[in-house]
Every structure is written in structure tokens, then in C-alpha cells.
Amino acid sequence: MSFTKIMVHAVWGTKRRYPFMTKEIRPIILDHIKTNAISKGIYIDRINGFTDHLHCLMDMNQEYSIGKTIQLIKGESAYWINKQRLTTKKFEWGVEYYAVSIDTSSLYQVRMYIQGQELHHKKVSFQKEYEEMMRGFNF
């Protein structure tokens, strides 16, 4: 049997950064994503976000690539959100995503960062955050 422990911090946004995920429906969406991920063998350690994007800390499943994992999460959740009519407009995720591996010594810091998204985005825009991440990881 093979064993892996690869933690990845992934971020993706709504199409055109539309603020679909209001404070009222965001917890419903996050709960559904976590439940659906478990059914696919994807372990989500932390997930949170703001009106137009999500941060997800996950332990990579040996069977899926990062791209496939994110595709499974995004595709099913968009379908479910629309089926449940949680938004007045058709919900769509943007195509792009950001993902980096996380060292075990940084897990606590990343968990706290993801948990504090609402407070964080009262001070920093997603665009600024995105640019800082791109610079910080030399993309």
C-alpha cells in the first residue's frame, strides 16, 4: 500500500469575480463542497472564502491530480448551486485557479488565514491578495 501526505492550498474565483457567495449562502455552499468531496475521497482540511472566491486546504488524493481534484469540486458544486437555485443568476466558477503545496510546519498559519477570510477581505481586496500570492510564490 502507498501512503502520501500532500497538502495543497488552492484558490479559485467565480466567473468574472461576480459576488455570488453572500454571507447567507456561503456556509451552505461550503458545507456541500465538503460533503461532496468526502464522497469522492477528497479530504478538505479547511475551506472558506468571500463573495467572489474560495480558499481550500486539502490533502491530495492519490488517484487525482490537482487539476482533476479542483475540476471535480468546482464542476459538481456549480451544478448543485444552480439546481438548488441558491443564486438569482446562473452560478459559474472561473476557469483559472491557484494552487501551492503547503509544508506541514505552515499548516496552522494557512488554516488561520483561510478561517479569517471575511475579516481579511475587509482590509485587502481579492485582486491585491491574488497579486501578492503570485509574487510571493514567484509565478
Boundaries of every domain in the chain = 7-136
- Pull the grid cell for residue 100: 501551492
Cα separation, 67 vs 59, whole angstroms: 14
**How many other β-carbons are positioned within 10 Å of the β-carbon of residue 135?**
9
| Greatest CA separation for the chain | 47
Per-residue pLDDT of the chain (139 residues; tens, 9 = 90+): 778 889 999 999 999 999 999 999 999 999 999 999 999 999 999 999 999 999 999 999 889 999 999 999 999 999 999 999 999 999 999 999 999 999 999 999 999 999 988 776 667 776 677 777 667 767 7
Distance between first and last Cα of the chain: 35
Number of residues in the chain: 139
Which alpha helices (DSSP H) does 42-106 contain, by range?
66-84
Under CATH, which number does the domain 7-136 receive?
3.30.70.1290
